[in-house]
Amino acid sequence: MSLGPAEVAKIAHLARLAILDEDAPAYARNLSAILELVDQMNAVDTTGVAPMAHPLDMAQRLRPDEVSESNQRAHFQAIAPQTEAGLYLVPKVIE
């Protein structure tokens, strides 16, 4: 499977990445190479092999349902560009 510039542009948009048009062919080549590797892996017969969700062969540790965090709003909001009435302010997004 190989990607063209239009697919590269779409993937970049989905990831909110700004790329230069002139770089698109190079990205297309590199991404296509990755997909070719996936194709090779797909060709292997994996009948009876359970899909792996994580490289570590361990299970998720569970935490007790107890409040351990205190209010550190002032601390966090010190690095926010803009706040008001305890809210983070962002450019308006309307549905």
List contacts with another protein (CB under 8 A): 14, 16, 53-54, 56, 58-69, 71-73, 76-77, 82, 84-95
For another protein, the closer of residues 22 and 72 by Cβ is 72
For another protein, the closer of residues 22 and 93 by Cβ is 93
Name the minimum Å distance from CB 36 to another protein. 19
84 phi/psi in degrees, rounded to 5: -160, 135
Cβ neighbours for 83, distance < 8 A, ≥ 6 positions apart:
77, 89
Name the minimum Å distance from CB 61 to another protein. 7
CB 6 within 8 A of CB 44: no
Name the minimum Å distance from CB 22 to another protein. 25
